[in-house]
Amino acid sequence: MTTAPTDSILAADIGSVTTRAVMLDIVGGEFRFVGLGESRSTVEAPFASLSEGLRHAIEQLSATTGRNFMDEHEQLIMPAKNDGTGVGAFTATTSAGQPLRVALAGLMPNVSLASAERVATTSYVKVVEVIGLGDRRREDQQLDSLLNTKPEVVILAGGTERGSSSAVLRLAETVALAAALLPEGERPVVLFVGNTAIRDKVSALFNGVCDVVIANNVRPDLDAEDTGPAARQLARLYEQLRLAQISGHGELTQWRGGNLIPAANAFGSLIRFFSQTDSAKGALGIDLGSAATVVAAAAGGDLSLTVRSDIGVGHSAANVVHGVPIERMMRWLPEGFSEDEVRDYCYNKSFNPAAIPHETRELMIEHALARQCLQGAVNAARQNWPPRAKTIRPGLLPAFQTLVATGAVLSRAPKPGQAALMLLDGLQPTGCTTILLDQHGLASALGAAAAVNPIAAVQVIKTALATLATTLSLVGDVRPGQTVARVKMAPIGGGDTVEINVAYGSLQMLRIPPDREAKVAIQPFNGFDAGFGPGVSQTVTIPASLAGLIVDARGRPLALPKAPAKRLAAVTEWLNDVGEYGG
């Protein structure tokens, strides 16, 4: 449904911790972000209703904007009235539901199962079981495991278009047997994404047992992968099986006349838009949430979405510290922090995900946790970069032109350098990247708004996302201390020109006067690549930003000094110079 060009939009985003109501309306002939209302999310007990928190957020929005959006029955007024009450359109996104419990069943671990896993990572999912030919368990052991884990969805893959059918059917029989043994209300939905030649046989196997949903073969050929249709089916299943069950969902659908959209998908839409409008280098989006982290990568309109439902800085904090050696978090902290303190903090944070750091000490632990979340999410996304996203070197993050970052731990970082440093350390971007920070938590809402009014979204994005920094991440190898580039930055319209020699291993933040663009001349040495080719010099214009230009010559991949004293000294220097902690 596309609204009339002049319709105002109320876009809601219901997160695990916070619910936001955002008002977009025409101001001075263009759509603008007009106001924001926030409330604690009420999806969980004791409220167990998403509309409760949304009403509170809308009340706050009313107080902020001076406009009334609800009628005497606490229903949204739609369409907008001549007296200024109500709105023209309403959209809603959420990341607040429980992840779906999904089992993967496929043939080869590095073929159909790998593709099934990539499909699973596109939605809010917890993989509870994996069954394949490489599985050493007997069939009855696999059966018992399915019965114990009780998946809600089984993604059944396997067989290229001219390939195996009997092995896939045997696998399907095991799944059908497990489904038949489960009580009727606990049987999974089977999403079949294998050899199309056996679709009818697979459907017949599950006939009378459980529902089967079909999507394109994720592996039509050994060398070809097509996960898009399967991912879309999985997203629909998530909406049907999870979102539709949340109390208050029915009411929202009436307001909007459609479904509640998973926030990850809406966020992905926004990133795809950036990739279509902003050069061939593509865009990367990071949504670092309390319960889940989303990586959306797009180039030339191709989007890859990775959702890690087990990584986050609040509800999922315990998972993060449980899943990696504690040293991986400790390396981001200066002296004076113990492993027990950091571990206890993360576990306690998962009980009270909304709690915020009162003191700098806790802020630093939280930011170390954020770095670990970013690394974990990007590692999961590595298998899935869009084909047109180009890397400077294999294994590194592609040299995305634009990075859109959202999540309260980033947007509420006290200093812009802290947010920039978390992103630099966690993601390790390469080349020249403009980082946009979603300071108001609008990204998913804007992605959803784009579906009803693309013009509104385009116009609002220009002003709603703050430019955090431009980062110049140099790629190459030399000994530490050697000069790898010369960078000269001249603010446009006046201001001091800064010229620096960049030493390998260094990290420098160059401030630009507020609201000023700058011309930056980059001259790499020793074959270093600034994103334009090894040794290729370039002059670019960078936008005005909160943190200015950050030149990162610490190496890619980022290798911290091995000696503990040197590592501590380096990390402390970066935290002080760029992060300005305690300053």
Nearer to another protein, 238 or 273 (CB): 238
Query: How many whole angstroms separate alpha carbon 47 and alpha carbon 53?
Result: 9
Alpha helix locations (H) across 396-507? 408-411, 416-427, 443-452, 454-464
Shortest distance in whole angstroms from residue 244 CB to another protein: 15
324 binds another protein (CB under 8 A): no
Q: Yes or no: say if 366 and 357 are a contact pair by the CB < 8 Å rule.
A: yes
Query: Among 337-345, 378-386, 477-485, 518-526, which window interacts with another protein (CB under 8 A)?
Result: 337-345
Query: How many whole angstroms separate alpha carbon 314 and alpha carbon 346?
Result: 8
139 binds another protein (CB under 8 A): yes
The alpha carbon torsion through 405, 409, 412, 418 (nearest 10 deg) reads: -80
Residue 257, Cβ density class (10 Å: 0-12 exposed, 13-18 middle, ≥19 buried): exposed
Nearer to another protein, 302 or 341 (CB): 341
Report the amino acid identity of residue 33. Answer: F
Find the binder of another protein among 199, 331, 388, 415 (CB under 8 A). 415
Query: How many whole angstroms separate alpha carbon 293 and alpha carbon 99?
Result: 12
The alpha carbon torsion through 368, 370, 372, 377 (nearest 10 deg) reads: -170
Bridge-based pairing state of the strands 507-510 and 549-552: antiparallel
Nearer to another protein, 140 or 161 (CB): 140
Query: Among 256-264, 352-360, 476-484, 554-562, which window interacts with another protein (CB under 8 A)?
Result: 352-360
Shortest distance in whole angstroms from residue 406 CB to another protein: 17
354 binds another protein (CB under 8 A): yes
Shortest distance in whole angstroms from residue 181 CB to another protein: 7
Of all helices (H) and strands (E), which one includes residue 510?
Answer: strand 507-510
Classify the C-alpha dihedral 113-118-123-127 as positive or negative. Answer: positive
45 binds another protein (CB under 8 A): yes
Report the amino acid identity of residue 523. Answer: Q
- Say which residues have a Cβ less than 8 Å from residue 216's Cβ, sequence separation at least 6: 193, 196, 226, 228, 229, 230
x-or-dash string of contact with another protein, 3-42, rule CB under 8 A: ------------------------------------xx-x
506 binds another protein (CB under 8 A): no
Residue 165, Cβ density class (10 Å: 0-12 exposed, 13-18 middle, ≥19 buried): middle
Find the binder of another protein among 26, 77, 181, 500 (CB under 8 A). 181
Query: How many whole angstroms separate alpha carbon 32 and alpha carbon 47?
Result: 33
412 binds another protein (CB under 8 A): yes
Query: Among 25-33, 144-152, 506-514, 565-573, which window interacts with another protein (CB under 8 A)?
Result: 144-152
Shortest distance in whole angstroms from residue 341 CB to another protein: 8
Find the binder of another protein among 236, 343, 511, 567 (CB under 8 A). 343
Within 80-99, the residues that bind another protein by CB under 8 A are: 98
x-or-dash string of contact with another protein, 280-319, rule CB under 8 A: -----------------------------------x----
340 binds another protein (CB under 8 A): yes
For another protein, how many residues bind (rule: CB under 8 A)? 45
Question: What is the per-residue DSSP string for 159-173?
Answer: --TTS-SHHHHHHHH
440 binds another protein (CB under 8 A): no
361 binds another protein (CB under 8 A): yes
Query: How many whole angstroms separate alpha carbon 415 and alpha carbon 336?
Result: 22
Which positions lie near another protein, rule CB under 8 A? 39-40, 42, 44-48, 56, 98, 138-140, 143-144, 147-148, 177, 181, 183, 315, 321, 339-341, 343-344, 346-348, 351-352, 354-363, 412, 414-415
